[in-house]
Structure 1
Amino acid sequence: MTQHDPFQGRRDFLRASGALGLAAMMPGAVHAARSDAGLASPGDAGAASGTPVPSRAPLAPQPFRRLPAGAIRPAGWLRRQLEIQASGLGGHLDETWADVGPDSGWLGGSGESWERGPYFLDGLLPLAWQLDSAPLKAKAQRFIDWTLEHPWPNGMFGPRSNDDWWPRMVMLKVLTQYHELSGDARVIPLMTNYFAYQLGALPARPLRDWGRSRWQDELLSVLWLYERTGDPRLLQLAALLHRQGFDWQAMFADFPFRQKVDVAALKAKGGGDDVFMKDLGQRVHGVNIAMSIKSSPVWSLVSGSARDRDAVHHQLRMLDTWHGLPNGMFSADEHLAGRNPSQGTELCTVVETMFSLEVALAITGDPALADRLETIAYNALPGTFTDDMWAHQYDQEPNQVESSLHRRPWTSNGPEANLFGLEPHFGCCTANFHQGWPKLVQSLWMATADGGIAAMVYAPCTVQTVVQGVPLRIEQSTDYPFRSHVEIVLHPARPATFALKLRIPGWASGSTLSVNGHAQASERAGRFVTLQREWRPGDTISLGFASAPTMVPGFNDSVSVRDGALVFALPIAESWIKWRQRGLTADWQVYPASRWNMGLPENAVFRRTEQPVGPVPFSRHQPPVTLSVEGRAVASWKAEEGAADPVPRRPQAEASDAPQMLTLLPYAAPKLRITAFPLLAPGSDAHPRDDHVG
């Protein structure tokens, strides 16, 4: 999402959307069929009980179903993280940023009327309910009430200054969550009327630009409504969205983008399919690709095709192979940019990749997607925020040696892109980052197809649901990912027999499992272990995973360091300089104050040290875990324009540079860091010394 992409006209749209007025409305209202508010009852039951609405034929069955919004609440360190978000920009953005302030078009005002209000709500809404915060609920409710109380006569909804399909796709996701939380009977009629209008309007006014690239996000809401109403027109609309939307599966089947993409240069060069080239910026846009990760699995619910369902794995392999980074993400600053860890990733891309993985995990049942989700959530997501979440980056770099007003190695983004601030480079991430943590909470546990319950992603939480007709409360206590032990206590209202599935992470070299102190057989890494039994109030499950620090090969024979779900990085001493005040927050440049160009030997030995998880879970000042390892300086590895040069391949350490003890921190803790280290040439092995860096 960029103001520098000449092929999308984004800024032109933003300027125009506030001034078009009623002239943008389509003439000839399409009258939607009447929708009985009583159809909300299945959703009401789900909201009250924490059980998902069952799948409805002919939609394909899926192995897991996400629980309704509100069924899972954060606890422990995760609740503290969400409280930090609520105390920062997440809870106060409307007080300091006009785009979601009282003049927002999504409140009936003349201000920004496109995607930013819906983006903001897509995270604010679940955050408010997960923290049971009355002030945050009231903020969200104002937007919700205006939207529900001001539909257009023809079935359209939202600000009348534009009729673009795309921002409504985001607001539909908001409304589905809101209905699950509240059972508000106004939601289903509005969605029914809108989809009926859209079904009639799309043939003459088809999807384009952002809507064409992001059709699968609306398909989620269409299928959500179909499961509650059974309206056959919704399946017609689903097919139309698929037909008009961009075919991501076909693009990745023969993936053409195998190096850093300079859109302007490729456009100037010409060649290829005219339509494809016209939309080239859309095809290689990181956020579009992040959203597209769920496109094939979601469409498989309609098509019933295993090929569609499984296409996500090939798509992820292509991204890893040609653009993968050590933090679990792919480079996109903001177009695909290769594997150099000095390239960046847009924050919108991070949170949208997480959401796509959460959706795809339920549909495919593949635990490897949960492994990837944890890597991103526990590294890339917090790594792009200040500790207090009052400032964020647009682009983060795994090898980030400076955050300043330099051009850097990206092709389309500007010099503000990796500053920490209110809206560095462009404001889409300011509006959209809010969904990251709350939607992770919503995906920690899922219902199983056989009527059981499954632990998908590990973090401290409580769950309130119904299993086999029995109300069930689950308490999960853990300091995961900083520790490898998880304790789960079940509180069924009465004894109940059901299957409980527990994911064994793919990185686990071993696992231990017990129920009420009695050892149980576990499973291989990368699979689910199933416990089928009668569960009684107070039954306690203890689960532990074995891991060891591991060097993972990467770009130019570099290595990154992982231990469990955490990626580790060398912290660089940081000098923070305020660039400008931005209302309640500020924009910051960060300069390095220590040496960063270090390499690791092939025979590196790591020592792990643990401390209590502090009030700021990912803080560099009180890190919950550190790794110590010996390394040596690589004098030939330098920086230009505030960015580290590509990692040198197998450099020889300078003989004059003695070995040093390095202290590595979890990736998200330092804001200046080295994550991909050059692997030193043979003969450069370190030897014990007392020097210490980190």
Structure 2
Amino acid sequence: MITFRIKIKTIIGIIALILVSSNQFTATAQNTYYKNNLAPLTATKYIKLPLGAVKPKGWLYDQLTVQANGLTGHLNDVWEIAHTSGWKGDIGQNVLPECCFPRFVPRWLEGLVPLAYQLNDKRLIDLSDKYMQYLMTVQDPARVTPSVVAWSHLGRVLQGYYEATGDTAAIKLCKRILDYAYNVRNVKSNVIVAPARLGMLLGFGWWGYNKTGDSSILAIIDSTTTKNVEDWKDYFINFKDRDITAAKDYPVKKYDMGRHGVDVAQAFQYPISYSLNGKDNSYVNSVFEGIENLDKYNGQVGGRFSADEFLAGLKPTAGTELCTVTESIYSLEKDFEAIGNVSFQDRIERLMFNSLPGTCTGDMWAHQYDQQANQVLVSNDTTRLWHDNSATSNVFGFTPHYSCCLSNMHSPFPRYVENMWMATADNGLIAASYGPCEVKAKVQNNTDLTITSETAYPFGDVVNMKIHVSQTAIFPLYFRIPTWAAGTIIAVGKKTFRPEKGTVYKIEQEWKSGDEVTINFKPEVTLNRGYNDAVSVSRGPLDFVLRIGQSFSQIKIKMDRPLKPAFATGVTNWKIEPTTPWNYGLAIDLQKPAYTISFNKIGKLPFARKDEPVFLADATDFIPWTGDVPVVLRMKARKVDNWKMNGGNAGDVPQNPITTAADEIVELIPYGCTRLRIAEFPLLSIKQK
């Protein structure tokens, strides 16, 4: 089966526009147990469950434990900026008047707080309390930092913290943050007000209004965010940054509207959230147009767009900053909650299972600043295609290039778990995304419902859900059917259902304890066309890339204020060199690619691959990981003679590949399990027998 990346995404975008125009915000009823927006705000399509309602199981529990044992759970031990901070009452400490510096601790808390309560980890709860309990007492935000963006990151934490603790001081702090943003909204300083990011206030401002009914919040949001939202709406519709083939191909003014990747990723949310206050569908539609344009001109394997710092074109050696991935996920989560479009959740899964883990080590002790789809060398001693980022941007390390990504790598997996199930207007639940988990929630007739999902998804194809209810009851369950899942079969007892791909499927019946729902997504291997007619390989939400032999060596690069605690840690910087050839083209049929597939047990480090050095809990040094990746594809390939290195990068994928070698069988493994990889390949002719 073949899909063409640009064309298929254009079609999806058009379908999305039609769906939004015809049934935006159809959730007019109010859920009895989980409150939707107060008037005059329009109800969101789905309602987020309280933090802790969804708990990780299986490999997701293991992945969150990896974070707890890695940088997320120890950042205060290894980083001075988190250890001594104005964010926990060390007045004036490590919140320097610089655009990004004050944001670091709140970004970490975005991941630490939900992680602590999802794992019910007392050490992490106590650690997060050192910051959160102090912040509940702050009356004047400017005493900690004047940065509105920094306080907006902290604002994202407040809803979950309130849900987990019941501390009403979080609601009061939300209002103080909004009041402060209003008071400084016209200050001409990027350190205080970053105009491109004022829409961040929407992410938590509506929650503050819903908890208080204070109409002044509506006025604050309107006066602080309207120009920002209008600017982004115009940018997404009248996309200016077209026909960029590489970062170095055009000059860029720093922080020019739309050029900065993190700004763009955060802005996915603004028009849709803004539209909840009685605005027309043009705001919603602008987001679909913006995503379509970004895919067309900057799209990359893994669901992301290129932006090493600024938009960087279609080449698979273009960089994407980790913060851009993280912020894209957050925005898409808010968008799905608001309007329920399946394509948002599809992209979240693609980012979560490919781009996010693919730019971190399997033990979550190191990360990159910039990742590449075709990444065949990780080093700090060669040239890259970045706009102005340093050579260290490609290193897996502690603070490669700059510190922002160290603070911003922690939230996606905890938030993914938090949003796997959501409430619906008719007192049911929707399975918004998939993975091993357990949800406990109220449904129709005050029924206590527990659903336990057992699955290897996305590394496996089947999700089995076991249902337990406090009483037999009739209520609806909804299931998101991904756009790639044309063959999906849902079984409930003796009944089977065949939902259409790209839809939300409703099953309403009388449910009793012991009922089971089994979903088999039946994913197919698909080929996607990319830059220079290269092909990439996907199966379900996973992208598959060439397994390249890897040699790790520790290197010294400048690190931003590291601390050395009394115990050993995994803080280091890695250079990674290939030990096997990478210049392969795939010798497969474009219409019907031949392959074999095998599955392995998912290890305790789900995204680590065999022989990768990892630092385990309570270890004193790195050891080679002995487990292997959960799933492997095998395809025919040949070495391409005219595909060579270009500086520190794989050269452009040749449009006319020359091959003299014999066919080989190569292994393709999940993108998220790799640090070196080829994700976009030349397509070769099949040799006749």
Q: TM class by shorter-chain length?
A: 0.7 to 0.9
Query: How far off is 1:266 after superposition?
Result: 3.0
Indicate the residue corresponding to 1:595 in structure 2. Answer: 581
Indicate the residue corresponding to 1:226 in structure 2. Answer: 209
Alignment partners' CA distance in 2, 1:123 and 1:249: 29
Query: How far off is 1:670 after superposition?
Result: 2.0
Query: How far off is 1:500 after superposition?
Result: 0.6
Change (3 A) 1:207 1:60: farther
**SS of 1:417 mapped into structure 2:** helix
Indicate the residue corresponding to 1:298 in structure 2. Answer: 273
1:487 aligned to 2:464?
Answer: yes
Query: Deviations 1:549-578 (Å, cap 9, x if unpaired)?
Result: 121111110000111111000021111110
Q: Return the match for 2:122 from 134, 137, 142.
A: 134
TM-score normalized with structure 2 length: 0.86
Q: Return the match for 2:595 from 603, 606, 618.
A: 606
Query: How far off is 1:304 after superposition?
Result: 3.4
Query: What amino acid is the match of 1:661?
Result: I
Indicate the residue corresponding to 1:570 in structure 2. Answer: 546
Query: How far off is 1:520 after superposition?
Result: 2.6
Alignment partners' CA distance in 2, 1:558 and 1:605: 17
* 1:490-501 paired onto structure 2 within 5 Å: 490-501=467-478
Query: Deviations 1:93-139 (Å, cap 9, x if unpaired)?
Result: 11011111134554324432111110110100001111110011111
Change (3 A) 1:339 1:262: closer
Query: How far off is 1:482 after superposition?
Result: 0.7
1:664 aligned to 2:668?
Answer: yes
Alignment partners' CA distance in 1, 2:228 and 2:183: 16
Alignment partners' CA distance in 2, 1:467 and 1:187: 27
Segments of 5+ residues of structure 1 without an aligned counterpart are: 1-48, 268-276, 689-694
Change (3 A) 1:379 1:191: same
The answer (yes or no) to whether the contact 2:58–2:436 under 8 Å persists in 1 is yes
Alignment partners' CA distance in 2, 1:331 and 1:58: 38
Worse overlay, 231-240 or 298-307: 298-307
Alignment partners' CA distance in 2, 1:444 and 1:220: 19
Alignment partners' CA distance in 2, 1:91 and 1:640: 39
Indicate the residue corresponding to 2:220 in structure 1. Answer: 237
Alignment partners' CA distance in 1, 2:668 and 2:176: 55
Query: Deviations 1:323-375 (Å, cap 9, x if unpaired)?
Result: 00011110010110001011111111111111111111111211111111111
Query: How far off is 1:54 after superposition?
Result: 2.2
Q: Return the match for 1:674 from 674, 678, 685.
A: 678
Query: How far off is 1:442 after superposition?
Result: 1.1
**SS of 1:502 mapped into structure 2:** strand
Query: How far off is 1:471 after superposition?
Result: 2.0
The answer (yes or no) to whether the contact 2:596–2:635 under 8 Å persists in 1 is yes
Indicate the residue corresponding to 1:629 in structure 2. Answer: 635
Query: How far off is 1:508 after superposition?
Result: 1.4
1:177 aligned to 2:160?
Answer: yes
Indicate the residue corresponding to 2:523 in structure 1. Answer: 547
Q: Return the match for 1:211 from 194, 197, 203.
A: 194
Alignment partners' CA distance in 1, 2:658 and 2:86: 57
The answer (yes or no) to whether the contact 1:108–1:146 under 8 Å persists in 2 is no
Alignment partners' CA distance in 1, 2:128 and 2:366: 21
Indicate the residue corresponding to 2:251 in structure 1. Answer: 266
1:192 aligned to 2:138?
Answer: no
Alignment partners' CA distance in 1, 2:133 and 2:32: 24
TM-score normalized with structure 1 length: 0.86
Change (3 A) 1:523 1:566: same
Alignment partners' CA distance in 1, 2:442 and 2:250: 56
Change (3 A) 1:74 1:410: same
**SS of 1:302 mapped into structure 2:** coil
Alignment partners' CA distance in 2, 1:330 and 1:136: 33
Indicate the residue corresponding to 1:75 in structure 2. Answer: 57
Change (3 A) 1:635 1:50: farther
Alignment partners' CA distance in 2, 1:379 and 1:98: 31
1:145 aligned to 2:133?
Answer: yes
Alignment partners' CA distance in 1, 2:327 and 2:56: 20
Indicate the residue corresponding to 1:685 in structure 2. Answer: 686
Q: Return the match for 1:652 from 658, 665, 669.
A: 658
Alignment partners' CA distance in 2, 1:81 and 1:633: 35
Alignment partners' CA distance in 2, 1:481 and 1:538: 25
Segments of 5+ residues of structure 2 without an aligned counterpart are: 1-30, 96-101, 611-627
Indicate the residue corresponding to 1:556 in structure 2. Answer: 532
Query: What amino acid is the match of 1:133?
Result: D
Query: How far off is 1:145 after superposition?
Result: 1.3
Q: Return the match for 2:405 from 414, 429, 436.
A: 429
Change (3 A) 1:142 1:627: same
Q: Return the match for 2:365 from 376, 390, 393.
A: 390
**SS of 2:308 mapped into structure 1:** coil
Query: How far off is 1:201 after superposition?
Result: 4.2
Alignment: residue pair count: 620
**SS of 1:416 mapped into structure 2:** helix
Indicate the residue corresponding to 1:403 in structure 2. Answer: 378
Query: How far off is 1:200 after superposition?
Result: 4.2
**SS of 1:613 mapped into structure 2:** coil
Query: What amino acid is the match of 1:112?
Result: N
Query: How far off is 1:265 after superposition?
Result: 5.8
Query: How far off is 1:203 after superposition?
Result: 4.8
The answer (yes or no) to whether the contact 1:50–1:71 under 8 Å persists in 2 is no
Alignment partners' CA distance in 2, 1:570 and 1:488: 33
Query: Deviations 1:181-214 (Å, cap 9, x if unpaired)?
Result: 1110212222223433443443567888863222
Which structure has the higher relative contact order (CA within 8 Å, separation 6+)?
2
Alignment partners' CA distance in 2, 1:50 and 1:451: 7
Query: Deviations 1:43-70 (Å, cap 9, x if unpaired)?
Result: xxxxxx9953321111112221221222
The answer (yes or no) to whether the contact 1:361–1:369 under 8 Å persists in 2 is yes
Query: What amino acid is the match of 1:390?
Result: W
Change (3 A) 1:72 1:126: same
Query: How far off is 1:658 after superposition?
Result: 1.1
Query: How far off is 1:216 after superposition?
Result: 2.2
Change (3 A) 1:167 1:626: same
Q: Return the match for 1:89 from 50, 61, 71.
A: 71
Alignment partners' CA distance in 2, 1:533 and 1:208: 55
